[in-house]
Amino acid sequence: MTGLRVLAVDDELPALEDLAYLLRDDPRIGEVSLARDGAAALRVLDRAIADGKPIDAVFLDIRMRGLDGVVLGRLLSQFANPPRVVFVTAYEEHAVDAFEIKAEDYLLKPVRPERLAEAIRRVCVSAELPDSDTAGRTDPGTIPVELGGVTRFVAGTEVRYVEAQGDYARLHTAGGSHLVRISLATLEERWSSAGFVRVHRSHLVAVKHIDELHIDSGRCVVRIGETEIPVSRRHTRELRDLLVRRARKGRSE
């Protein structure tokens, strides 16, 4: 593995140097470039593209002088081949913005080495680079959930199914449910490669959590735990074929 080419951006020099040290200490990182503000970050990115060595990931502070991290993240998402973005910030309230920008991760300062290692792992998965912990897997990442003014990050792997509620979505896990400000269509797009499928205009399910599929008098439902979820007629055949293929694959292994 050649190693990831990454850019760290922070207008506070001590924080930037600490982050650079942690990044260089990870064997999956090949090159680390630094920038003190958004404009400098764009210059580094443009130069890297011109040199034929584009940046793989940007580790980006949010509250900076001039061009802040959220605005810069949105600009990066418009690149023809955008770098992966990991936000590194002292503030929780921008987590929803980060998810909408499709950031790979959202780290809170002070950065713990194990959380940074997990963020690098997510970047490797997204970039389809070899990684000892991620070979052959996809990861739905995390999603920010507001609970009484506190942001909690729920792992997509914990979600069993998702239910649309207007412009919001309710995530159902083994431990309860969480209402998040995001559309079901957006979650379907982001999580389709991680084993989530649309079974109804108002439901998205994690295939691995389906316990049973019932078809009776043309009506199809799936059971996840104690919950039965309707499957629309247009999704029934696709879902049934998918479950059959998974069962055959399991027997062959």
Residue 31 one-letter amino acid: E
Is 146:160 a contact under the CB 8 Å cutoff?
no
Residue 60 pLDDT? 95
Alpha carbon distance, N-terminus to C-terminus of the chain: 29
What one-letter code names the amino acid at 204?
A: L
At a CB cut-off of 8 Å and minimum separation 6, what does 54 contact? 5, 45, 48, 81, 83
Band of residue 73 on the pLDDT scale cut at 50, 70, 90: very high
What are the backbone angles phi and psi of residue 37, rounded to the nearest 5°? -160, 175
CA–CA distance, 18 with 33 (Å, rounded to integer): 13
**DSSP character at residue 126:** H
pLDDT at residue 12, as a whole number? 94
Q: What is the pLDDT of residues 115-167, one digit of tens each?
A: 898 889 888 887 765 444 444 456 677 788 877 667 778 888 899 999 999 88
Q: Does position 1 have pLDDT exceeding 70, yes or no?
A: no
Q: Residue 229's pLDDT band (boundaries 50, 70, 90)?
A: very high
Residue with the bigger pLDDT between 171 and 129: it is 171
The residue-averaged pLDDT of 233-243 equals 83
- Strand arrangement of the beta sheet that strand 159-165 belongs to: 176-180, 168-173, 159-165, 203-206, 196-200
Instruction: Report the pLDDT value the prediction gives residue 136, as an integer from 0 to 100.
Output: 43
Binned at pLDDT 50, 70 and 90, residue 247 comes out as low
- The pLDDT of residue 250 is 57
Could you give the CA distance from residue 59 to residue 105 in angstroms, rounded to a whole number?
Answer: 9
Could you tell me the two tokens for 67? 């061009």
- Asked if pLDDT for residue 32 goes beyond 90, the answer is yes
**Residues 210 and 222: beta-carbon distance below 8 Å:** yes
Q: How long a stretch of residues is the chain?
A: 253
Residue 40's pLDDT is 95
Q: Name the average pLDDT for the chain.
A: 86
Cβ atoms 34, 16 nearer than 8 A: yes
User: Residue 167: what pLDDT?
Assistant: 84
Q: Are 9 and 38 in contact (CB under 8 A)?
A: yes
| pLDDT value of residue 182 | 86
3-state secondary structure of 11: coil
pLDDT at 83: 94
Asked if the model's pLDDT at residue 202 lies above 70, the reply is yes
Q: Are 19 and 109 in contact (CB under 8 A)?
A: no
pLDDT of 195 above 90: no
The pLDDT, as a whole number, for residue 194 is 83
Nearest to 64, CA basis, from 38, 85, 84: 38
